[in-house]
Every structure is written in C-alpha cells, then in structure tokens.
Structure 1
C-alpha cells in the first residue's frame, strides 16, 4: 500500500468515525451503518473494512466520545467562572450519557458482566481530565469540598439510566441533572 493510500484510509477512518459519533448520538446504538457510509461519503464496504462489526464501530464511538469529553474538560479548565465551566462540562457528560442509549447493551450483551477495569478506565480518564475543573470550583466555594468527580459521574449515570425510555431522554436527563446540581430551592 502506498503512502497516499494509507493517508486516504486514515482520512476515511476519521471521517467515518466522526459521522458515526453524530449518528449514534442522534439514533443510539441502532444507528444505520448505511446512513453512516452515505453521510461519510464512502461505500458500506469501506465502513466494514475499518469496522468489521457494529460492536467494533460502537466501541470506537464510545472511545472517541470519552476522548472528546476529556479534551473538552482540559479546554474549559481555567477559562472564567469555575462553577460555570464545571457545569458546562458536566452538562456535556449528561448529554453524552443520555444519547449513548443502548451502547452499554450492545457493548456488554445480557448476562455478561462488565469488566470493572474498562468501566474504571473510562471513569478514570474523565476524572483525570476534569479534576482541575472540580478543584477550581471547590477552591472558589462554588462546590462543596466533599463532592468528588466519582460522585458526579455516578449521579449522571443514574440519571441517564432513569431517563433512557423517555421520548427525549437527553432533555429529561438535563432537566434532572440541573435539579440535582442547583437544588430544589427557588433560585434568586
């Protein structure tokens, strides 16, 4: 294979993955591979060459989203009001968690236990990236010092699970997360 062909294959891979991230966010784990190929401007054989199974594609999508959220946390760190920066990032995690509906069921088929190392690895990646956001919010008195990122991620996971069957799970998850984050008292 020539360097030009390898570069073309890398571009196709990146384009397919970017489209797949959007399609899975919109349609869940049942996103159409044919639609992904169409939007990416490649044939379905090209999609299957890069991602031989739906599971392989969904694993890549999940990994990419975790990387994107980690990068976003790093980008928001130190940019203005600490509570707002933390809340903005957490809302993006809520959106991802709510729109990733069905991913867990496909990536971890029924009856198969989730490998703790994988779940812990994803959580650890997010926690490492977002630690400065939480540290700044605690330092500024915007968040209680007892709050951990593990607490916040567990809360988001629970909200995502509780809202997955709503007609608009992302909107409901955002509403519930805002309620949890701001409290039930009237806002002044």
Structure 2
C-alpha cells in the first residue's frame, strides 16, 4: 500500500472508531469520510461495505480476545479464565454502540466481512468453556454458541440506557448461571463493565 493510501486508511479507521463509538454501528459513512478529510470514494476503496469497516475496527479487539483466551487456557483456573474472558468480550462489544447486531448476524453469514473474526473469537471462548466443563466447573448443557449469545445479550443490555446501570448485576447473574460452583455475589467485587 502506498504511503498516502496507508495514511488515509489509518485516518479513516481512527475517525470511524470515534464516530461509531458515539453514534453506533449505523453511523453515517459520509460523515466518517468528511471528518477524515477524504472523499466517500476513498472510504469505499478501503472499505467497500459498512461491514468491512466494522470488521477492521473490531479485528484488533477480536484478535486480542482470541490471544487472551489462549493465555487464559493455561494461566488461570478454568472458571476464573472463563469469567475473565466473558467480561472482556462484553467490554469489547460495548465499545461500539449497535455492533452486537452486526456480530450476531455475521456468525450466520459466511460472506460477511465480520464472519471470520467472530468465528475465531467464539472458538477461543468455546475452548475456555469446554475446559471449565471438563473440570466440572461449568454447566454441560451449553456450548460456545450459547456462550457467545449470552455475551452478546449482556453487551446489548449495556447499550440500553435503562439497563446500563444494572449491567454488573446482570453479568453476575449470568456468570453464576454458567458456573456450577459460584454464586452471583462472587462476581460483584469486579470493576464495573
């Protein structure tokens, strides 16, 4: 990529990060281009679809979550690893309003720009869940799809003004429902989501 094209790409992503965090996943692409000081054609050359732009914004976070899951597989107790990773997934999804719907749709759409990133992240979480299940620490009647759906639901609730103040409480309830040996009060000492 030429130096000026790379600069435009990085600038668009930087601006898009701010705009999407403020206005949500349906933020105006025209506004993003204008704020980045490029034409709409330049934005579309780098990101042919809204999903491609969202994927680029989320990829780094998803890659970090995948790497963290790998570290947690051996560095923590299985139940603590699962809860820590779940909390981070919710925080990552919560950085951008409205991105949860795009993530959930991408799981089913193999042609989506977000599909591969979402599948890789879900697979990493599934390994943590399976490890906790093998140790008898997590419910055995759920799978990685269930875990991903619960994380998405909690992230979505965090986006809702009426539910945001209860996000930590709701996380505690869900975490204690996933784990077989922990009460919801065990999770309240954690910092807010």
Which segment is superposed worse, 70-79 or 16-25?
16-25
Report deviation, 1:90: 0.6
1:90 aligns with 2:82: no
Going from structure 1 to structure 2, the CA distance change for 1:34 and 1:64 (only over 3 Å counts) comes to: same
Match of 1:117 in 2: 109
**What is the aligned-residue RMSD (CA, Å)?**
4.0
Who is 1:33 aligned against?
Answer: 32
Determine the structure 1 residue equivalent to 2:171.
177
**Length, aligned pairs only:** 173
TM-score, scaled relative to structure 2: 0.62
Cα distance, 1:35–1:99 mapped onto 2, change above 3 Å: farther
Unaligned runs of 5+ in 1: 38-42
Distance 1:7 1:186 in 2: 52
**Counterpart Cα distance in 1 of 2:142 and 2:122:** 12
Q: Deviation of residue 164 (structure 1)? A: 2.9
Contact preservation (8 Å) 1:28, 1:99:
no
Instruction: Please give the TM-score of this superposition, normalised by the length of structure 1.
Output: 0.64
Deviations along 1:104-163, one digit per CA (max 9) or x if unpaired, are 67x69xxxx878334875553223222332232223332123332211111222333444
> Greater shift after overlay, 85-94 or 67-76?
67-76
Instruction: Specify the alignment match of 1:40 in structure 2.
Output: none
Counterparts of 1:42-81 in structure 2, within 5 Å, are 43-45=37-39, 50-51=46-47, 56-81=52-77
Distance in 1, matches of 2:168 and 2:23, equals 18
- Residues in 2 aligned to 1:35 and 1:85: alpha-carbon distance in whole angstroms: 42
Structure 1 CA distance for aligned equivalents of residues 152 and 68 of structure 2: 19
Q: 1:138 aligns with which of 133, 141, 146?
A: 133
**How far is 1:177 from its partner?**
1.9
Distance 1:142 1:166, change over 3 A: same
1:164 equivalent among 156, 159, 177 = 159
